[in-house]
Amino acid sequence: MHTWRQLVKIALLGTEKMPLPESILPEAVRKRLSTADTADREAWFFKAAALTYVYEKAGSLPEKTPVPALPPAPKESLQICPAPVQRFLARTLEYKNKRPDVLALCFEMIAAKGWVLAPEQLVPILNLCQQPPFKSLQNQVVTVAGERGRWMQQFNPAWQFLTPKDPETLWTEGSNTERRQFLQELRSRDPELAFELIRQTWTEETNSRERKELLKILQSNPQAGESAFTQSVLEDVLKNKDHSKAILVDIKNLAVDTLLMDPDSELTREITAQLRPYTVVQKSMLGMQRRTVLQIPEKPDGFFAPAMMCERLGMEPVSPLAGIPEPAYWFSELTRRVHPAVWERALNFTWPEILAQFAEAEEKFKKSKLPLLEHIAQALGRSQYLPGIRAYLDEYPLDASNYFMLNALGDAELERFVLKNMPDKVPDFLWDAFRRKNWTWSLTLSRHVLKCLSSQQPNGYQYQDFAKMLNFGIHFHLDILPEIRQMAIQETSDWRQQTFRSQFLAPLLHILESRKTITQF
């Protein structure tokens, strides 16, 4: 606006007294006036004033910021997935009810073929991986994003998962939480290496709470040959003058639990020897038959006593179960905490005999409900001890308190168990066991599950959680597709069957057809 004020001043004085210097005009105005007639000074002045007014009213042009030149995306070292795969992904991404399990299967197939995603599909897929139901796909996407995907992450901080942190850097520079997460994953994948890292870190770590977390990770997947370290941890805690502090008590109990679940630890061998005297030979009245039975003491003795059970093993001094004396309570806690192999060595029984003895002892405390069988099931599940698990499943019912024992069975053995013992229904507590990773059911099991899910009761279907039921879709045998198609098109006037078909059969059909398409690429 400085130029305009000068023009007003010149107009008031007159161009003769105060000529207009061209230098005060904006460059764009001077260019426009370069072809104007300068002989008529007034006309030239009015034209300059008009142009300047319009120029200044229009505002200044924004400052030009040079855009940095980005290096081109690197060339892909792997082949981009073929057009049919791209079309399938495009349809799947547009599908309103798209499923993470179907996409995961597709990404796994692309990785197995040595392909990478097409560039134009990277952005929608990377953005999809930020949504809660699809965050589980991030690891699969990392393997198929290719060079361009890693190049693109510079444009969006949310895509940084494409370059996972280097494990060595994460271990040396990560936060305590990141280090624990890394160790937890490593403990399941490479327990030996995880143990070495825990053992090295233990001496450097002075914070008791962090030590407790390390011991929890160690306990999550106990391995043979680690008991010497855990024994040293226990001895150090007991030597501490403040070993009664709550955090040190927690560390002590964790160490004891870990040692008890190792059948070859020094503490377990000691417990095994101490349990042997609690088997008694009984004779019939005529003395013709002999029977060895388990006998739980009614009162505290040399072994089932506070010094051993409470001070060394960390159990409660008084039974929390009404009507059950302390020795019986301590015995039940041992049943839950020690490795199941202890009972074979200590009692010299077969597993059917061991379970029968526990059941007989439990029956004596029927009113007060001593949980011996429940506790032995917990120990069998923790240790994945197949001899005892098979004997248990042969004799006793499966329920929500012990179903986790099935995790020890292989796919084929689990299938045989289900077909034999669950002819009419798949209990809700088994749904997670049925969704075992990378398990494609046989056609027989697929038909059995479909029959159970589609069976009706007087008040409707057994199962109403259709969203959860659809998680089975990724496991069905593909040869069942014609049967499901036939079920889906059958006419019915029953609203319950219509609901079942629209909310379960139709989506299931889509899942299986998607799977079939993926397997044919």
Band of residue 287 on the pLDDT scale cut at 50, 70, 90: low
More confident call, 431 vs 101: 101
More confident call, 458 vs 149: 149
| Residue 242: per-residue pLDDT | 77
Helix (H, G, I), strand (E, B) or coil at 307: helix
Average pLDDT over residues 391-413: 92
Q: Of 20, 18, 19, which is closest to residue 30 (Cα–Cα)?
A: 20
Residues 6+ away with beta carbon under 8 Å from 422: 430, 452
| Residue 434: per-residue pLDDT | 86
Percent of the chain exceeding pLDDT 90 equals 54
pLDDT in tens, 93-112: 999 889 999 999 999 999 99
More confident call, 195 vs 165: 195
| Residue 33: per-residue pLDDT | 76
What whole-number distance in Å separates Cα of residue 347 and Cα of residue 294?
Answer: 8
DSSP state letters, 370-386: --HHHHHHHHHHHHT-H
DSSP state letters, 435-469: T-TT-PPPHHHHHHHHHHHH-EETTEES---HHHH
What whole-number distance in Å separates Cα of residue 12 and Cα of residue 420?
Answer: 109
What whole-number distance in Å separates Cα of residue 1 and Cα of residue 60?
Answer: 11
What whole-number distance in Å separates Cα of residue 125 and Cα of residue 142?
Answer: 11
| Residue 54: per-residue pLDDT | 80
User: Residue 282's beta-bridge partner residues?
Assistant: 291
pLDDT in tens, 443-489: 999 999 999 888 765 455 555 678 888 989 999 999 999 999 999 88
Q: What is the mean pLDDT of the chain?
A: 87
pLDDT in tens, 77-92: 999 999 999 999 999 9
Band of residue 425 on the pLDDT scale cut at 50, 70, 90: confident
Neighbouring C-alpha atoms within 13 Å toward the C-beta of 377: 21
Provide the token pair at 187. Answer: 């403990």
pLDDT in tens, 312-363: 999 999 988 888 999 999 999 999 999 999 999 998 889 999 999 999 999 9
> Largest alpha-carbon pair distance within the chain?
148
What whole-number distance in Å separates Cα of residue 385 and Cα of residue 409?
Answer: 10
| Residue 323: per-residue pLDDT | 86
What whole-number distance in Å separates Cα of residue 223 and Cα of residue 495?
Answer: 55
**Count of other CB atoms within 10 angstroms of residue 254:** 23
Q: Match 């260019």 to its residue by tokens.
A: 31
| Residue 405: per-residue pLDDT | 93
Element (H, E) at 398: none
Phi, psi (rounded to 5 degrees) for 381: -65, -40
- This prediction has a pTM of 0.77
